[in-house]
Amino acid sequence: MPDRRSFLQSALAVVGATQVPAATAAAAPVREAVAAPPRPVHLHINGRDYQLSLEPRVTLLDALREHIGLSGTKKGCDRGQCGACTVLADGRRINACLTLAVMHEGQRITTIEGLAQDGELAPLQQAFLEHDAFQCGYCTPGQICSATALLEEMRADGAGLSDAEIRERMSGNLCRCGAYPHIVAAIRAVALRRG
């Protein structure tokens, strides 16, 4: 019966023998990604029209931040998992990092910058301040955009306004600082004011 040491030595020898050194392996030719030519894209964002020339694979998030200069929408995970990039498309919340800009021609896009009107904060923005619903603030734009859509969804659905319902509907927006109780309180306060 082989001892542990001889077993590990033979196992390592087998693994080592199956590894092909990089120098002797036939290298497959590497193809460079070819950029698609830019195309005209018309976006309606926060009540303004933008005529852009974008490569078709540009995400809505990158179009907002890099081509239009609206940096309020944050790039968090860039995988649709954190909600920091949440914006509204025709009133529906979407993750801007998961969608292409060209897909939103003809839609009304609203970002955090578009919620305030005539220099007055939107009710949710004011409630977030009053209820200390943010700490570092990185997720706050996405949280507020998502909460804006949530209030409209709840009005349309006639859904109850329990804290559990708010938490469930906001579950796509993460707050690494853990300000969830304050976020729920801010949303509830605005919902109660609206009746």
pLDDT of residue 14: 66
Give the pLDDT band of residue 23 (cuts 50, 70, 90): low
Q: In whole angstroms, how far apart are CA 148 and each of 51, 60, 111, 127, 166?
A: 27, 19, 11, 12, 12
Give the whole-angstrom CA distance, residue 182 versus residue 19.
55
Amino acid letter at 138?
Y
Share of the chain above pLDDT 90, in %: 75
Taking 70 as the threshold, does the pLDDT of residue 27 lie above it?
Answer: no
Report residue 140 as tokens: 């706050």
Token pair for residue 195? 């009746």
- The band of 30, judged by pLDDT with boundaries at 50, 70 and 90, is confident
- List CB contacts of 161: < 8 A, sequence separation 6 or more: 154, 188, 191, 192
The domain ranges of the chain are: 36-114, 117-195
Joined together, the tokens standing for residue 100 give 């292409």
At the top level of CATH, which class does the domain 36-114 belong to? alpha beta
Specify the pLDDT at position 94.
98
pLDDT at 21: 57
Nearest to 43 by CA among 2, 1, 5, 99: 99
Q: What is the pLDDT of residues 156-189, one digit of tens each?
A: 877 678 999 999 999 999 999 999 999 999 999 9
Domain 117-195: CATH superfamily, name plus number? [2Fe-2S]-binding domain (1.10.150.120)
User: Any idea of the CA torsion for 91, 124, 151, 79, to the nearest 10 degrees?
Assistant: 60
What are 66-90's pLDDT values in tens digits? 999 999 999 999 999 999 999 999 9
Query: What would the two tokens of residue 8 be?
Result: 């590990």
The whole-model pTM stands at 0.81
Strands (E), 91-185: 92-95, 108-110
